[in-house]
Amino acid sequence: MTTKRDFLRLGDLSLAEARQVLSLSECLKREPKGRRTQLLAGRAIAVVLEKASTRTRVSFEVGCAQLGAHPVVLGVQGSQLGRGEPIRDTARVLARYCDAIVFRTSATSRLLEMAEAPVPVVNALTDDGHPIQVLCDIFTIEEQLTTSIAGKRVAFVGDCGCNMARSWLEAAPIFGFHLVLAGPASHAPPAHEIAAAGTHVSQVFDPEGAAVGCDVVNTDVWASMGQEAEAATRARAFAGWTVDEEMLRVADPHAIVLHCLPAHRGEEIDEATLEGPRSRVWDQAENRLHVQKGLLVWLLGKAGDVR
């Protein structure tokens, strides 16, 4: 019996395994529409969303369909989750019907409970991380810069305490790039997470220095899902940290800009930058589809069948 594998955090894959997933994803992206592999035919994938989603839901649902698998999307409303059925019961039942579970939730403890299911579980965002997004974004960076992310300088600007920033922080030592966390000191990741990134991270507390020499500048909303009540306070805390041309003046001339979306124009990023020549956000959104397909194929043991 083989042990099931999960993707709850980036470190759940070794670098070699992550590289395997990314190269599988490249193969799947290149497949002509009319000759798509049916590698996961007969399988069912549960996509359980306890928070709102557009990209994650659609990219997993379409990705499953393209692989011949059946996606089952479950929200809080309309399922027994909304009426308080324990996650561990949901997990056991889903595993009787489905071959993998993709889960978006709030607390990491809920994710870990779901991961007790005897099938692979994929973290599709928690309050503490968004590792699948970052894995997909590494694919986009390497595709767009046409070189490895290793040795590159990647800035995360704005709310450095948010789930996206924390997954970037986890990724830096694994993939060997330098992460610049640029934002107000009041909103930083937990100290032990910064310490774990060692020399792969530095912090900048002044917007003028945020993008200096960076190859990639990445940002995210100032108020994440669940923080809506703090939106006004947060807007004040992050004032001056908008990613715009002024901030990017000191970046590498070929620097690209990423945003996992949804974007709040005029807050964490301005319209001109989001729609401008440095922006790769639409490719970034598309690549969710390809990389998640690669990950599902890998987790379900079909990597060897991709040509």
Residue 214 binds ligand CP (CB under 6 A)? no
Q: Of residues 66, 288, 290, 292, which has the active-site annotation?
A: 288
Q: Hey, what are 225's tokens?
A: 């899902």
Of 114, 126, 1, 136, give the one whose Cα is nearest residue 51. 126
* Of 37, 66, 90, 163, the one binding ligand NVA by CB under 6 A: 163
Q: Which helix (H) or strand (E) holds 143?
A: helix 131-145
Residue 174 binds ligand CP, judged by CB under 6 A = no
Q: Which of ligand CP, ligand NVA, none lies near 220, with the C-beta cut-off 5 to 8 A by kind?
A: ligand NVA
**Binding test (CB under 6 A) with ligand CP, winner from 55, 70, 88, 302:** 55
Give Dmax (Cα) for the chain: 56
Sheet holding 216-219, edge to edge: 201-204, 178-182, 153-157, 216-219, 256-259
Q: Is 159 a catalytic residue?
A: no
Shortest CB 39 distance to ligand CP, Å: 24
**Which positions from 172 to 211 touch ligand NVA by CB under 6 A, shown as an x/- string?**
----------------------------------------
* Residue 237 in contact with ligand CP, rule: CB under 6 A: no
The residue with its CB nearest to ligand CP is 56
Asked if 288 is an active-site residue, the reply is yes
Among residues 9, 130, 178, 234, the one annotated as catalytic is 130
Based on the residue annotation, tell me whether 133 is a catalytic residue of this protein: yes
Asked if 302 contacts 295 with a C-beta cutoff of 8 angstroms, the reply is no
260 sits near ligand NVA (criterion: CB under 6 A) = yes
Comparing CB distances to ligand CP, the nearer of 207 and 267 is 267
Nearer to ligand CP, 64 or 125 (CB): 125
- CB-count burial class (<10 Å; 0-12, 13-18, 19+) for 205: middle
Helix (H) / strand (E) element for 259: namely: strand 256-259
Could you say which of ligand CP, ligand NVA, none residue 221 binds, taking C-beta under 5 to 8 angstroms by partner kind?
ligand NVA
Upper half-sphere CA count for residue 300 (Cβ side, 13 Å)? 25
Q: Identify which range of 33-41, 161-169, 247-255, 269-277 contacts ligand NVA by CB under 6 A.
A: 161-169
Asked whether position 224 contacts ligand CP by CB under 6 A, the answer is no
Q: CB neighbours (10 Å) of residue 208?
A: 13
Only segment of 95-103, 147-155, 174-182, 217-225 that touches ligand NVA (CB under 6 A): 217-225
Q: Does 137 bind ligand NVA (CB under 6 A)?
A: no
Instruction: Calculate ∠ Cα 267-268-269, nearest 5°.
Output: 90
Q: How far is the CB of 77 from ligand NVA (least distance, A)?
A: 19
From 290, 291, 286, 298, select the one nearest 100 (Cα to Cα): 298
Distances in Å between the Cα of 29 and the Cα atoms of 143, 195, 287 are 11, 36, 8
